[in-house]
Structure 1
Amino acid sequence: MAQSSRAPAPAHSQPQSSAPFLSLRHVSHALPDGRILLNDVSHDFDGSTRYGLIGRNGAGKSMLLQLAHGAMGLQTGRIIRRGRIAYVPQEQPRTAATTLADVAGIAPILQALSHIEAGSTRQSDFDLAEGHWRIRDEWTRMLADAGLPAWQPEHPASIASGGELTRVALAGALMQNPDALLLDEPSNHLDAGARCWLMDQIAAWRGGLIAVSHDRTLLDAMSCIVELDRGTLTTYAGNYAAYRAHRDCVAAALEASLAHARNERTASLRALRQQHDAQQQRTARDARKARDANQAPILLGMKKANAQAHAGRENIRRQETVAALDDAVRQAAAQIDQSAGIALALPETAVPQGRRVLHLEHAKPPYPVEACALTVTLSGPFRLAIRGPNGCGKSTLLSMLAGELAPHAGVCDVRVPTAMLDQRASVMKEDKSLLETLQVLGATLAEGELRSRLALLGLGPELVSAPAATLSEGERLKAALACALWRKTPAQLLMLDEPTNHLDIQSAETLMDALREYPGAMVVVSHDEALLEGIAPTHELAWRPAGWQFDESPGVPT
């Protein structure tokens, strides 16, 4: 839902101004469990810069936008807003009572106009209506530009798909003529055409902008990258490509530091062993000389005690040196771990070549009704990509293949264990923790091994024990993936519905690496071309004007 907040500033000022539209002063914020998301942060966001806000899942990016807009109460510090700021959250409301005007954030404006038309003289109505007297004409034009049907603002939000609702919210934010935009994952759920429309709007925008995103194309259109990491904000001049070049240099330097620390340890340990061996030889030689010289027993005892004391001191010195060398290696390795993506270990879920996995015979998806019947047989560890514009029924088709929806006609037969990872990670129950869910699903791994695997997935002790309702969208997706792979019967067919939508960039890249190595079969709905290129589809179902078209040798999408 596009939301607008107003500060005591000209309502329709037209930036491009270098003055900050948003200032944070000593802002701190923590979750109820004590995790600190912002730690005494002070930062200015000026009106002439496009900021791409990035960070790990759960770092607090969405929360920062909510605080910036005023949608969430501030715990410590001060936030200064200048001008009118429009905020588009990541997910749009879809209750039975929600209208498209609610999603666009223009319902109060339309209501004020209705009051004025009915004779209202209240100043609050005129304040809301100011500058928006022709908002219905603007609504029609903006929806047409966004490639949306000629809906009326009063239509229920339920008529639109997730991607269409996102476009409605973005269009509504622009219609409010704000001085700055706060966008939370604006390209999520958007098809290729809608993403082009979004990029055109961003290119034409002249106000302040903060966009939380994992979309590398969108981030490359930014002029500054701000990274939220462990409670602090770090600014990098330039777009995402420049940020990655900088991070790659840092990673290379960290790798070099680790290699140097390991080489230093190896060389020092070799030198210590040589010194120890030489000392042992000297001690043995001196003892033989003393015996051959027929020295008094008391003198021999004193020399032996001195030698033992010296050896003890040398042993302590060696232990301290070894500990210091090990600590240097650990510190260098820890820095690399902190800058690396999440490691993801997938268990064996192989599908043999030639084994039938999926069979469709004259199967018609339940939506859209005009979809043609499909007859397809897929065997072995295939990779099926499902492509199409928003609203064509991709998620419905995926649900039919997963057995969650019956076909309108025909047969849909899946012959291997299947796991469905939908956009809302619905396998996770709001009041249950991940560990509890895995126990219900009959996970056979010992708890210690399970916790270790979950830690590799980026889900630490606090997250695996927390109710699913407290997890971020990206954390929920990782939890759902863990349920699919480490339940009693691991999935040999993964059904993925926009799997990278809620992942941070590093997690998305690691997921792509893991899916490349996944030995089972896979069906993927995604607008993320980097993901689809990474998994190398062997087959494609693409929506065409005549309905679904099956292709055994997919090429570059048009």
Structure 2
Amino acid sequence: MKLSVYLSTKEIMLIVQNISYIHLDKTSLFNNLNFTLPTHSKTALIGQNGSGKSTLLKLIAGLYPVTTGQIHTVENPYYIPQHFGQYNTLTVAEALGIADKLHAFECILSGEMTEAYLELLDDDWTIEERCQESLQHWQLEGISLSSPMALLSGGQKTKVFLAGIEIHKPNFILLDEPSNHLDLAGRELLYDFILTTSATLFVVSHDRTLLNLLNNIYELTPTGITTYGGNYDFYCEQKEIAVNALQHRIESQEKELRKAKQKERETMERQQKLDARAKKNVGKAGLPKIVANTWRNSAERSTAKIAGVHLEKTTNISQELRALRTQQTELDKMKFAFDTSNLHFGKTLFQGEDLNYMHNTKCLWTPDLNFSIKSGERTAIQGKNGSGKTTFIRLLLGELLPARGKLYRATEQIVYIDQEYSLINDQLNIYEQAQTFNQTALQEHEVKIRLNRFLFDKDEWDKPCHALSGGERMRLALCCLNIGQIAPDMIILDEPTNNLDIQNIDILTSAIRDYTGTLLVASHDNIFLEEIGIQRHINF
């Protein structure tokens, strides 16, 4: 819906007014959401997994209808989704919505200059040249406009839609996790685009490098959207201030609760002494029974009233304290609790000599690989999309055999965690999955305590694993390793942050930092690699 005429199109690109969205299963995702996007602003939308970020982008893009409320835009946005499966039956040109225009262009060049073709082309005589330049800029050499989308990798599909920006030249762009499948070179191109474009951007991302290039952070929570006028580092500073203020409030409430309870004890002790003295005096005074009973009842009512006043006060403080504590972070609870790996530091776990693997009758790596991985090291493997990082991991795991060269392997105690967290069995529920790692025969209540520690309360123990979000799968995987207790010699992580929100990346980072064994990580997230203490790199 176009922006109302009374609003200045020079200042505001988007207005969201009192929108609500209810899923087909009748659950409400958000209610009475309100915010605006200034023209030329570069804004991030962050929030926990499941908060509705991707759905909100689809509502703005017009792919979903709002349940109530209105969305006004100056012009239709160009939308780059997070997932591209819906385009697998199309060619690159069809996915970009330019197939008809290209066909008209080709027909006109061949002499069929009909009115219909001229209308379709709309004087866009540079369309073909612009397409080729855009595909080349986004490192899509060898991919044509007629290439099937189904044959492209996730990173290539993302680049196709990024190339579409130069083709369509939109002024308003929605991007949903645009760096998820990009290699380092692709990310650098994306970062450069974000820095130089004058278009209005609204970006869902957990890529902290990208988030620091944006000048506004909008945080989506169940209560609405909170805006922060700065980049992600500024947002973190503000959140830290809020966390510190929360801690001070908790400490203040704890102190007030202790004082209230002490005052309650002192008041009750004093009242009890007064009641005892009054009772003794009544007995000595020899008053009629009815008068003595009246005095005793009055004393009891007074004591009960005092107790009630103090109980109400301590109860109110306790409730406020519990409410404040629920806002505290859970990061410190979610740590690996197993013993240190028994391998002595510096032992060679893997060694490759002139190693290579055949792919489509060609060797994957030039030159052959020569490497070693030693116990206690924290190593990152990096390279372009398609350079063979996952193949390298599968060789280490013994799932593939090298085409030539030698691979020495000295360890079998390896935990492999891919970006889908496939060690989770989708046929089980959460509690059943946890029990599959209960190798030391923990009691049922001990398993459930660990599930609670990783934010799975009793209402979720029967939840099927196939219904878990990326963040939930990650937390359950960490919980399972915690339940297993026996430290693996090595943990291998393959793009572990791709499907996580920022909170869950923090949880994973905190847990991995505590692991004392050998770590091998394939990731394009340099901030994550830095925070988990990577010491060396293997580059392809």
Whether TM-score is above 0.5 comes out as yes
Query: Which segments of 5 or more consecutive residues in structure 2 lack a partner in the other structure?
Result: none
Asked if residue 247 in structure 1 is aligned to residue 239 in structure 2, the reply is yes
Corresponding position of 2:381: 386
Corresponding position of 1:25: 17
Residue correspondence of structure 1 range 219-368 to structure 2 within 5 A: 219-230=211-222, 232-289=224-281, 293=284, 295=286, 298=289, 303-334=295-326, 336-337=327-328, 343-348=333-338, 350-354=340-344, 358-362=349-353, 363-365=355-357, 368=364
Post-superposition Cα deviations, 1:441-478, rounded to whole Å, max 9, x if no partner, equal 66866666555544544556676655555544444444
Structure 2 counterpart of 1:45, one-letter code: L
TM-score, normalization: structure 2? 0.84
Go from structure 1 to structure 2 and tell me whether the alpha carbon gap of 1:187 and 1:96 turns closer, same or farther (over 3 Å shift). Answer: closer
Give how far 1:220 is off. Answer: 2.2
User: What's the secondary structure of 1:178's corresponding residue?
Assistant: coil
Query: Which segments of 5 or more consecutive residues in structure 1 lack a partner in the other structure?
Result: 1-6, 10-15, 544-558
Decide which of 394, 415, 421 is 1:425's aligned counterpart: 421
Corresponding position of 1:193: 185
CA distance in 2, matches of 1:473, 1:463: 16
Greater CA drift, 64-73 or 32-41: 32-41
User: What's the secondary structure of 2:77's corresponding residue?
Assistant: strand
Give how far 1:407 is off. Answer: 3.1
User: 8 Å contact 2:509–2:528 — kept in the other structure?
Assistant: yes
Corresponding position of 1:69: 61
User: 8 Å contact 1:36–1:231 — kept in the other structure?
Assistant: no
User: 8 Å contact 2:418–2:494 — kept in the other structure?
Assistant: yes
Decide which of 386, 409, 413 is 1:413's aligned counterpart: 409
Residue correspondence of structure 1 range 463-478 to structure 2 within 5 A: 465-467=462-464, 470-478=467-475
TM-score, normalization: structure 1? 0.81
Asked if residue 49 in structure 1 is aligned to residue 17 in structure 2, the reply is no
User: 8 Å contact 2:19–2:32 — kept in the other structure?
Assistant: yes
Structure 2 counterpart of 1:392, one-letter code: S
Decide which of 135, 142, 147 is 2:127's aligned counterpart: 135
CA distance in 2, matches of 1:401, 1:370: 19
Residue correspondence of structure 1 range 171-210 to structure 2 within 5 A: 171-210=163-202
User: 8 Å contact 1:485–1:491 — kept in the other structure?
Assistant: no
User: 8 Å contact 1:350–1:519 — kept in the other structure?
Assistant: yes
CA distance in 2, matches of 1:417, 1:393: 23
CA RMSD of aligned residues (A): 3.6
Structure 2 counterpart of 1:313, one-letter code: K
Go from structure 1 to structure 2 and tell me whether the alpha carbon gap of 1:417 and 1:127 turns closer, same or farther (over 3 Å shift). Answer: farther
Structure 2 counterpart of 1:517, one-letter code: D
CA distance in 1, matches of 2:306, 2:377: 63
User: What's the secondary structure of 2:18's corresponding residue?
Assistant: strand
Corresponding position of 2:491: 494
Greater CA drift, 266-275 or 164-173: 164-173
Asked if residue 532 in structure 1 is aligned to residue 529 in structure 2, the reply is yes
Structure 2 counterpart of 1:323, one-letter code: T
User: 8 Å contact 1:59–1:231 — kept in the other structure?
Assistant: no
User: What's the secondary structure of 1:401's corresponding residue?
Assistant: helix
Identity of aligned residues (%): 28
User: 8 Å contact 2:2–2:72 — kept in the other structure?
Assistant: no
Corresponding position of 1:12: none
Greater CA drift, 196-205 or 248-257: 248-257
Post-superposition Cα deviations, 1:274-326, rounded to whole Å, max 9, x if no partner, equal 122222333334445556x4736836666545444433333333322221221
User: 8 Å contact 1:37–1:231 — kept in the other structure?
Assistant: no
Go from structure 1 to structure 2 and tell me whether the alpha carbon gap of 1:236 and 1:360 turns closer, same or farther (over 3 Å shift). Answer: same
User: 8 Å contact 1:87–1:183 — kept in the other structure?
Assistant: yes
Go from structure 1 to structure 2 and tell me whether the alpha carbon gap of 1:20 and 1:491 turns closer, same or farther (over 3 Å shift). Answer: farther
Q: How many residues align?
A: 527
Give how far 1:263 is off. Answer: 1.1
